Amino acid sequence: MTALESHGLKKTYPGAADPALRGLDLAIQEGEFFGLLGPNGAGKTTAISIFTGLRAASEGSVRVFGADLAKAGADVRRRIGLVPQDIALFPTLTVRENLLYFGRLYGLGGADLDRRIADTLDRVALSDAADRIVDTLSGGMKRRANLAAGLVHGPTLLFLDEPTVGVDAQSRATIVATLEVLARTGVTMVYTTHYLEEAQRLCGRVAIIDHGRVLAEGAPSDLIARTEGCGSLEDVFLHLTGRELRD
Amino acid sequence: MTRFARQVGASLRKEGRTLLRDRGGLIVLFAMPAALVLVVTVVQERTMRFVSAPNASLLLIDRDGGELGAALKEGLLAAGVFTVETGIEGRVPTEAEAKAAVARGMFQAALVLPEGASAAARDKANRLAEGLLAVASSGVPPATEAAPASRLSVWLDPVLTEPYVKLIRNVSMGVVRGVEMRLVVEAFAKGMLAKAAGRPGAALPEFLSKGLAAAPMADGPATLLALDAAAATDRGWADVPDSVQQNVPAWTIFAMFLIVIPLAGGLIRERREGTATRLRVIPGAPAASLMGKSLLFLGVCLAQFALMLAIGTFVLPAFGTPAFHPGPVLAQAFVVGLVTAAAAVGFGMAVGMVAGTPEQASVFGASAVVILGALGGVMIPRFTMPEAMRALAVVSPLGWAQEAFLGLFLRGGDLASVLPWIARLMAFAAAGMVVALTFQRRRG
């Protein structure tokens, strides 16, 4: 079954000269680990905002597990999880209190929620820091707690917006390992990152987008094979999007 | 319990935990207003007494010891707005000591009646009567030198308001004029009788002397025109509040509106830190979060209300002020408190959604509360403001709340009588929420 499908997705922000998305067509199957790659300003975050219902598209449609997202009920939307690029946690609460809050907002409670929190904390190696105030955690621990908050309700479609940005090698390895375990449990993941070797290793399929359009789509190995002179996903990426600075 | 109610419950718990860990926020919400109401009430106590309290204290130094001094004391007491002391610590002070006592705030005024004032007044009355009789009989005034008048010295506390100064002067002069009039009439009657009997210097018959001494100086059967004054409403006089009645509700309202700082700041931080984004992905969570915040801060406002009333009732009297008496309208006051809290929450929500940064929200929020508080009569009572400022007060929700509280506590009103203020506060609360929701949607 298709977990996420977009057709002709366009988005123009009020007052912007150029559209952020110019007709994005994607189809992501259930259980897929899908990489959405692109330089800064390519439209990745806008696409994720629309896929998670945070923003409305100017044109086009999005279907999640077969349901039109614009009309989808809470049942469908509760299957979605988001790990934003920012550390989206309440800094004066403990990690456990954050997870309790987000879990309860998803309608969970009691022993079931306690068990899920314990599992999730174990998964991101934060069991020992569960009762620490978020503000006192290191950058890597915060990043892992941020991931845990997106996982606690057990989503089947998870959007990860640069989940490993700015962390040390150890935390990054833990996060990647967690994602690999999740992928094996059948969770569909849509993943954005600037670490292309990470995407090459983790993703079954990637789409390279720029200026709001898909430039190439397929398994990393296929993309490397079919792009002349490229030995890695990063080579393909630079070949397609160019080397000029974007920021 | 519905899913939304559980979400609201979770948000309420989360907000409670967050607030309890925010020491600065708790100080702003509870310690600061408590300190303000204590300090301002005690500081204003003396000043407010001048314009409102019925018993301002006067010191009368009677060096004359005659009928003028006695009449002056009697007249001042009869005015009903003074207590009159005739000494300090059991002895009659010098004029310099009396002046210093007024300067220290021990008395609002000191009146010094010089020695021989009664005799001088009587002598002046006699000369006046003789002159009148001489003119009446021969058409020529007697060639007597006018005696110098004794002077009543009045030392006034410089912080006394002008109407109060006039009141002291008018009451004193009214008494003096009354005595003067009696002395003149007495001297004139004496002169007339002596002339009729052909015996200069003859004494008044006893019945006339007693009658004149008993003649009333104020309203009485002999008064030509009596004055009846009454309040123009059925409820009687709208009393001017004393310092406690003014400040306890005023600073309670001020404290309630100060929630704008933590409430708006929290909303903005959630937006900037990304938690608001996470909430928006969860069905029903943004509305539940707003509802949880609203309920928490309504609770905070009611806790402030209880705290401030408790301070007014139990703590302020220990600092020498009268105790705050909510009287039989506590339940109605609770309703006004709840509506005021709703208005404060609506304001906080609107500021939190419109402002871009926590700094903007706290500077704008705090300034707005201070300005609206000043306009609404929180800092100083509205009745002491110039007319133009009083007219401006109609725009202040803090003023509406103050009027509603004063209507209940001071004017003996009920909920129906303060309904116009309640309606305005509710409309303000609703407007704040509409602005907040509109901006929340727009920012989405």
pLDDT digits (tens, 9 = 90+) for B4-15: 999 999 999 999
- The interface predicted TM-score of the complex, written ipTM, equals 0.92
**Do B283 and A74 count as a contact with CB atoms less than 8 A apart?**
yes
Q: Are the C-beta atoms of residues A208 and A196 closer than 8 Å to each other?
A: no
Chain A residues inside the 8 Å CB shell of B282? 77-78, 102, 105-106
Mark out chain A residues that contact chain B at CB-CB < 8 A. 52-55, 74, 77-78, 80-82, 84-93, 97, 100-102, 104-107, 109, 133, 149-150
**Do A107 and B3 count as a contact with CB atoms less than 8 A apart?**
yes
Predicted local confidence at residue B398, as pLDDT: 95
Chain A residues inside the 8 Å CB shell of B284? 74, 105
Interface test with A, best of B278, B441, B443 (most A CBs within 10 A): B278
**Do A82 and B278 count as a contact with CB atoms less than 8 A apart?**
yes
**Do B6 and A97 count as a contact with CB atoms less than 8 A apart?**
no
Report the distance separating Cα B289 and Cα B286, nearest Å. Answer: 5
Q: Which of A116-120, B24-28, B186-190 has the highest mean pLDDT?
A: A116-120
Q: What is the DSSP string of B291-303?
A: HHHHHHHHHHHHH
Residue range B284-300, pLDDT digits in tens: 999 999 999 999 999 99
Max distance between CA atoms of chain A, in angstroms, equals 56
Report the distance separating Cα B294 and Cα B423, nearest Å. Answer: 19
Closest by Cβ to B277, choosing from A88, A102, A109: A88
Residue range B229-246, pLDDT digits in tens: 444 444 444 455 677 888
Q: How many residues does chain B have?
A: 444
Res. B407: pLDDT tops 90 = no
Ordered strands of the B109-113 beta sheet: B82-85, B56-62, B109-113, B153-156
Count of pairs with CB atoms under 8 A, one residue in A, one in B = 77
Q: Are the C-beta atoms of residues B297 and B264 closer than 8 Å to each other?
A: no
- Single-letter amino acid code for the residue at A100: L
The values of phi and psi at residue B300, to 5°, are: -60, -45
**Do B7 and A82 count as a contact with CB atoms less than 8 A apart?**
no
Res. B273: pLDDT tops 70 = yes
Q: Are the C-beta atoms of residues A218 and A205 closer than 8 Å to each other?
A: yes
Predicted local confidence at residue B220, as pLDDT: 43
Predicted local confidence at residue B236, as pLDDT: 47
Q: Which residue has the tokens 């006394």?
A: B160
Chain B residues inside the 8 Å CB shell of A84? 274, 277-278
Q: Which residue has the tokens 């990690």?
A: A95
β-strand A188-192 against A157-161: which pairing, if any? parallel
Chain A residues inside the 8 Å CB shell of B280? 53-54
Confidence of residue B179 (pLDDT cuts 50, 70, 90): confident
Work out the minimum CA distance from B267 to partner chain A, whole angstroms: 12
**Do A104 and B7 count as a contact with CB atoms less than 8 A apart?**
yes
Q: Which of B258, B253, B407, B423 is CA-nearest to residue B340?
A: B253
The values of phi and psi at residue B146, to 5°, are: -70, 130
Res. B328: pLDDT tops 70 = yes
Residue range A27-81, pLDDT digits in tens: 999 999 999 999 998 999 999 999 999 999 999 999 999 999 988 878 889 999 9
Q: Are the C-beta atoms of residues B376 and B398 closer than 8 Å to each other?
A: yes
Interface test with B, best of A101, A112, A135 (most B CBs within 10 A): A101
Interface test with A, best of B4, B8, B281 (most A CBs within 10 A): B281
Work out the minimum CA distance from B162 to partner chain A, whole angstroms: 55
**What burial class does residue B192 get, using C-beta atoms within 10 Å of its C-beta: 0-12 exposed, 13-18 middle, 19+ buried?**
middle
Q: What's the sign of the alpha-carbon dihedral B193, B198, B202, B203? A: negative
Predicted local confidence at residue B219, as pLDDT: 45
How is residue B315 annotated by DSSP? I
Distance of CA B187 to the CA centre of its chain: 46
Q: How far is CA B2 from CA A100, A105, A196, B152, B280, in A?
A: 18, 12, 45, 80, 19
The CA radius of gyration of chain B, in Å to the nearest whole number, is: 32
Q: Which of B42-51, B212-221, B350-359 has the highest mean pLDDT?
A: B350-359
**Do B282 and A78 count as a contact with CB atoms less than 8 A apart?**
yes
More confident residue, B162 or A123: A123
Chain B residues inside the 8 Å CB shell of A92? 17-18, 21-22
Predicted local confidence at residue B230, as pLDDT: 45
Predicted local confidence at residue A74, as pLDDT: 85
Work out the minimum CA distance from B291 to partner chain A, whole angstroms: 13
Work out the minimum CA distance from A245 to partner chain B, whole angstroms: 27
Chain B residues inside the 8 Å CB shell of A87? 273-274
**Do A87 and B274 count as a contact with CB atoms less than 8 A apart?**
yes
**Do B6 and A109 count as a contact with CB atoms less than 8 A apart?**
yes
Q: Are the C-beta atoms of residues A206 and A36 closer than 8 Å to each other?
A: yes
Closest by Cβ to A88, choosing from B10, B13, B273: B273
**Do A105 and B282 count as a contact with CB atoms less than 8 A apart?**
yes
Mark out chain B residues that contact chain A at CB-CB < 8 A. 3, 6-7, 9-11, 13-14, 17-18, 21-22, 273-275, 277-285, 288, 444
Neighbours of B156 (CB within 10 A): 16
Helices then strands, counting H and E runs in chain A, come out as 9, 10
Closest chain A residue by Cα to residue B23: A92
Chain B residues inside the 8 Å CB shell of A101? 10-11, 13-14
- Single-letter amino acid code for the residue at A98: N
Q: Which domains does chain B have, with CATH numbers?
A: 3-50+242-443 (no CATH), 54-213 (3.40.1710)
Predicted local confidence at residue B161, as pLDDT: 65
Residue range B109-153, pLDDT digits in tens: 889 888 888 888 888 888 887 777 777 777 776 666 666 677 888
- Mean per-residue pLDDT for B157-179? 76
**A30 three-state secondary structure:** coil
Residue range B86-116, pLDDT digits in tens: 998 888 898 888 888 887 777 878 898 888 8
Predicted local confidence at residue B237, as pLDDT: 45
pTM of the complete model:
0.72
Q: Which residues of chain A have pLDDT under 50?
A: none
Closest chain B residue by Cα to residue A155: B282
Residue B156 tokens read as 């006034």
Q: Are the C-beta atoms of residues A6 and A61 closer than 8 Å to each other?
A: yes
